[in-house]
Amino acid sequence: MKLSKNNAIALLVDIHQNTEEYAEATVKTILEDKDYDGLIYPPNTGFTDDEKAELNKLRNNEHLKSALGKILADNSANVVFSLFNIIDGTTDPKALSEQWSGVKLVDNDAEDGAEPFGDMLHDGFLETYWAWQGIKEQEN
């Protein structure tokens, strides 16, 4: 049984929401809080004093907030899109040492007769952005 349309859309819309919220939170951390210790990726490093000094030069304004938010959200979305391409079987993992057997996302306790989502999560990810925007507008 494949992933149902209902669960796939819920998953993809939630990822859009998280992408936006995490980007906004990171921008706030950088521009308003000037607290770089919580930015922990990659996990084996932190910011040097020189890097922190350069980040501290960034001024908090709406245009910079918007630009940084878009950059961070785009980066996150590209990672998710690439992951879905691997799950969809349209590309192989880069660290593959033998033939890629693929993976599946399936519903837990799938209901009989649930409408299937389709074959490609990476396509659905881009398409559900507008569903996320609609939900956001309803909340505001």
β-strand partners of 4: 116
* Segment 19-36, tens digit of pLDDT: 999 999 999 999 999 999
Q: Is the pLDDT of residue 1 over 50?
A: no
| 8 A C-beta contact, residue 133 and residue 102 | no
β-strand partners of 116: 4
Close Cβ partners of 125 (under 8 Å, ≥ 6 residues apart): 12, 15, 77, 80, 81, 84
Supply the pTM of this predicted model: 0.81
At residue 110, the pLDDT reads: 60
At residue 112, the pLDDT reads: 63
* Segment 95-130, tens digit of pLDDT: 776 778 878 888 877 666 677 777 778 888 888 888
At residue 101, the pLDDT reads: 80
- Average pLDDT (34-50) is 87
